[in-house]
Amino acid sequence: MTTKVRQKWDERDVPAVSGKTVLITGANSGLGFETARVLAARGGHIIMACRNADKAHAAINRIQQAVPGAALEFQQLDLSSLDAIERACDEITQKHQHLDLLINNAGVMWMAPGRTIDGFETHFGTNHLGHFAFTARLLPLLQHRPGARIVTLSSIAHRMARIYFDDLWLEHGYGRQKAYGQSKLANLMFALELQRRLEAVGAEAISVAAHPGVAGTNLASPALEQIGLRRLAALASRIGPYVARKPIQGALPTLYAATMDDVRGGEYFGPGRFYEIFGYPARGRPTRYARDPDIAQRLWELSEELTGVKPGL
């Protein structure tokens, strides 16, 4: 069930974020790029945390051409490595006394069976554990900042997913969609549990979640190339914009969650039409499983154990 927040809300309705420091993971392409472009145009200082420096600098140049005077900086970040995450957070903390907005946007999708450098299943390790550790290390910059928000991207794939605590790496039944769905469910459960814990300690910051519905980005292309389907990957990249919404449309729920005054901690935003696949931003409702606080607590404690990072909430 969804609740419309405002009919035909689009990027023209995004309020000013002048003077705010915004960190976006995976900001060099797709939804992250559009989110960075719009918030830069609204006066934010944008930290683009990306794995590939060349692609990030190219994205910065594109935004600066579209938004003269945009305040942008690059931050090296590899969410598949706990050591790299720690280094990135140390660098961010040295350069910035606070953050106003953290958007956990980066992710991988439909990858072949594999492990991160730390031994985690690729999707779960990158999409969930990477963002868990990254957010936890940056909480001191956000927690006591009035109006601060943490926006974590999930997916409609969470509706068909479960957390396989007894086979977290899916060694006894791997599937690309199964692995991706588990990681995006974990993203959503993390966002909701983080809000519970922020409330419990009286923090100023809030945690919310968002998802894009179906948007034409290049997220699936690396997965197709990985299994030798380079022509299909190229074709998907070319026809994607015609069979799915444009990336800016997919970014609208994130932008709403990140900027609008009526947003409350623990809310979940996505498209408002046809099972949250299309349409303008609306309040969505996570599945009952995703809202289960006992499962979320178990996931949180397991994430602390696996990453060795405790948020201190």
More reliable by pLDDT, 226 or 252:
252
- DSSP sequence for 163-223: --GGGTT-TTS--HHHHHHHHHHHHHHHHHHHHHHHHHTT-S-EEEEE--SSB--STTHHH
Closest CA to 215 of 256, 171, 156: 156
Q: DSSP label at 112?
A: P
Q: How many CB atoms are located within 10 Å of the residue 84 CB?
A: 17
Whether the CB-CB separation of 189 and 299 falls below 8 Å is answered with: yes
The residue count for the chain = 313
User: What domains are defined for the chain?
Assistant: 3-304 (3.40.50.720)
Cα three-residue angle 286-135-92, rounded to 5 degrees: 145
User: Looking at 164, 174, 180, 268, which residue is catalytic?
Assistant: 180
Question: Which 3 state secondary structure label does DSSP give 62?
Answer: helix
Is 164 annotated in the active site? no
Q: What are 35-86's pLDDT values in tens digits?
A: 999 999 999 999 999 999 999 999 999 999 999 999 999 999 999 999 999 9
- pLDDT above 70: percentage of residues in the chain: 88
The average pLDDT across 170-189 equals 97
CB neighbour list of residue 69: distance below 8 Å, 6 or more residues apart: none
**Average per-residue pLDDT in the chain?**
91
Whether the CB-CB separation of 250 and 219 falls below 8 Å is answered with: no
Closest CA to 286 of 262, 271, 303, 267: 267
Whether the CB-CB separation of 3 and 264 falls below 8 Å is answered with: no
Q: Is the pLDDT of residue 232 over 60?
A: no
Question: Which 3 state secondary structure label does DSSP give 15?
Answer: coil
